[in-house]
Amino acid sequence: MKYEDVKDLKPEEFRRLTGVKPDTFSKMLVVLEAAETKRKLSQRYRGGKKPRLTLADQLLMTLCYLREYRTQFHVSKSYGLHETHCGRIIRHVEDTLMQSREFTLPGKKALLASNIEYEVVVIDATETPIERPKKSSGSSTRVKRNATR
């Protein structure tokens, strides 16, 4: 799905798809474009290959990834990219938006200082696999005990 396909949606439909209003999307896009221009003007910029996705498509991909909670593998197949490249784009867009300080949530101190009472608390309890050693019947501690007097 490209930005050209969804830019003409009604604001309600656009928000249902991406999770943000079209105005917020355009503000995010302005921040990304400013960061890209600044990067190109830096002395360390060497050029390189032209990106497959425009900045609007990269932002749309990131918002769809965050909105739909699909894996990067599925998102990358939708956009015709490799999974690792998709992850790099998502991380770059997130970092750029966070560095702008326009789209950050208020901190804990700001929430505690306000007089607003919150009725709902949302907790992200995502399961993550943990590698643990396998239990085996032939433990090496028996040998050590027999050798000790």
Residue 114, CA distances (Å) to 98, 118, 128 in order: 23, 11, 34
Answer whether residue 71 is part of any domain: yes
Residues 6+ apart with CB under 8 A from 18: 6, 25, 60, 63, 64, 67
Higher pLDDT, 36 or 44: 36
Answer whether residue 113 is part of any domain: no
What is the per-residue DSSP string for the chain? --HHHHTTS-HHHHHHHHSS-HHHHHHHHHHHHHHHHHHHHSTT----PPPSS-HHHHHHHHHHHHHH---HHHHHHHHT--HHHHHHHHHHHHHHHHHHTSSPPP-HHHHHHS-PPPS-------------PPP-SS-THHHHHHH--
Answer whether residue 88 is part of any domain: yes
The confidence score (pLDDT) of residue 133 equals 75
Answer whether residue 140 is part of any domain: no
In tens, the pLDDT along 59-107 reads: 999 999 988 888 889 998 999 999 999 999 999 999 999 888 887 777 7
Asked if residues 17 and 5 have their Cβ atoms less than 8 Å apart, the reply is: no
- Band of pLDDT at residue 55, cut at 50, 70 and 90: very high
Answer whether residue 102 is part of any domain: yes
- Output the average pLDDT for the chain: 82
Answer whether residue 125 is part of any domain: no
Answer whether residue 132 is part of any domain: no
The confidence score (pLDDT) of residue 45 equals 72
Instruction: Give the total number of structural domains in the chain.
Output: 1
Answer whether residue 69 is part of any domain: yes
Residue 32 has pLDDT above 60, yes or no: yes
> Which domain does 9 fall in, by range?
3-106
